[in-house]
Structure 1
Amino acid sequence: MAPLNIAIIVGSTRPGRNGTAVAAWVHEQASGREAATYEIIDLEDTGLPLLDEAIPALVGKYEQQHTKDWAATVARFDGFVFVTPEYNHSTSPALLNALDYVYAEWNNKAVGFVSYGTSYGVRAVEHLRGVAGELQMADIRNQVRFALPSDFPDRVFTPGPEHAEQAADLFDQLELWAGALRTVRS
């Protein structure tokens, strides 16, 4: 079987964001895994405006070219790692917006979470689990959590050895579910 394709989605577009450093670390941790290839997708690069499709995504009739491009991007992956900050007990508006744009392209795919914030970003992940369920995604239990400011001393991302262990557990579980769901989609 061909290796799985997993996207690491940088879920923040905020100036001065920590998400790019966290996503780069996740990608580095995933390098060398045999069951899957991992690729970073930065929402800043997608050009998605605030949701501007007149027809709900559930219908699957996308009108805007940026939506069609985003749908094609999402469709080519078997699973996802959402790198999310926690803003006001939830995730970033940019990530929610990107999730809302398409529907069927998310279905029957696995998703894992890497979060950061003053409460380790766990409330953002809890919110995303409900969204993932509505998009018919299988959210895995294991996640990686970073605390602000302790894991970002002097605003420099500094993960510890426990984070590498958490990431390995996340990848193992994500790849297992993504592989199983690939058979469901076929």
Structure 2
Amino acid sequence: MTTKPRIAVIVGTTRPTRWGVKPAEWIKGKIEQDGRMSADILDIASYDLPFFDEPASNRWMPSQNPQAVKWQRDLDQYDGFVFVVAEYNHSISGALKNAFDQAFNEWNRKPAAVVGYGGVGAARAVEHLRAIAVEVHMVNVPSAVHIAGGEFVRVHPLGGVEDDISAIEDKLNTNAMIDDLYWWTDALKTARAATRAEAA
């Protein structure tokens, strides 16, 4: 029996007032509803990661900080990732960049999908994230979900019109993103298994 690919939905902000948990829970539910993959939420706020201060990336040597090692071990269990991204001054949050920097091997040869939110759907932050993902040898999923403009205001607490993202689903690229995520996750999981078998 084939095990379903496992997806980690990563909440990309840590502020007490953040909204990102809401879209993280929503996209986790959509992935599980699709049925081809399982999904968990990884909240970087719960890891208490220090600013990266290792002698080098774990690409080159093992990390020493126990929080970083726990983060790496948790990431390693997953076959693909969905990053829930807010835009801070045209880029991703410092906390999310630091979370990327605290690992390398665990991102390697796995897909990176994105749910961005904000006035422009975090479009500029998503472009930065995609460049980072390439550097840690991930594959960017082409389709993304951008919760933007009027739809964002409708479901964000500042707008106060709706409390459920499902109210705007018809405006989002959700099915295309999940289809692309599954294709890349399945393909890369198969390829990684073949590489391990060849090396054994």
Q: CA deviation at 1:156?
A: 5.9
Name the stretch that deviates more: 103-112 or 22-31: 22-31
How does the TM-score come out when normalised to structure 2? 0.87
SS in 1 for 2:91: coil
Secondary structure of residue in 1 paired with 2:33: coil
CA distance in 1, matches of 2:161, 2:24: 16
Counterpart position of 2:160: 154
Measured against aligned partners, the alpha-carbon deviations of 1:72-119 in whole angstroms (never above 9, x if no partner) come to 111110000000100101011111100000101100001100001121
1:128 is paired with a residue whose SS is helix
Q: What is the distance in 2 between the residues matched to 1:120 and 1:31?
A: 23
Q: Is 1:175 the equivalent of 2:176?
A: no
Q: Percent identity?
A: 34
Structure 2: how far apart are the matches of 1:76 and 1:178?
A: 13
Determine which structure has more spread, i.e. the larger CA radius of gyration.
2
Post-superposition Cα deviations, 1:158-177, rounded to whole Å, max 9, x if no partner, equal 430325x5222111110110
Question: Alignment partner for residue 173 of structure 2, among 149, 166, 172?
Answer: 166
- Residue 149 of structure 1 deviates from its aligned partner by 2.9
2:44 aligned partner: 43
Residue pairs, 1:66-145, within 5 angstroms: 66-145=67-146
For residues 38-59 of structure 1, the C-alpha deviation after alignment (integer angstroms, 9 at most, x for no partner) is 1011111111121122223321
Q: Using the alignment, how far apart are the partners of 1:60 and 1:157 within structure 2?
A: 45
CA distance in 1, matches of 2:154, 2:87: 15
> What is the CA distance between 1:155 and its match in structure 2?
8.3
Q: Which has the higher strand share?
A: 1
Give the direction of change, closer, same or farther, for the CA distance of 1:125–1:179 in structure 2 (3 Å limit).
same
Change (3 A) 1:69 1:156: farther
Post-superposition offset of 1:157: 4.9
User: Greater relative contact order: 1 or 2 (C-alpha under 8 angstroms, separation 6 or more)?
Assistant: 1
Check whether the contact 1:22–1:157 (CA below 8 A) recurs between aligned residues. no
In structure 2, distance between residues paired with 1:92 and 1:60: 26
Q: Is the alpha carbon distance of 1:157 and 1:137 closer, same or farther for their aligned partners in structure 2, counting shifts above 3 Å? A: farther
d(CA) in 2 for partners of 1:121, 1:133: 18
Give structure 1 stretches of 5+ with no counterpart. Answer: none
Structure 2: state its 5+ residue gaps: 194-200
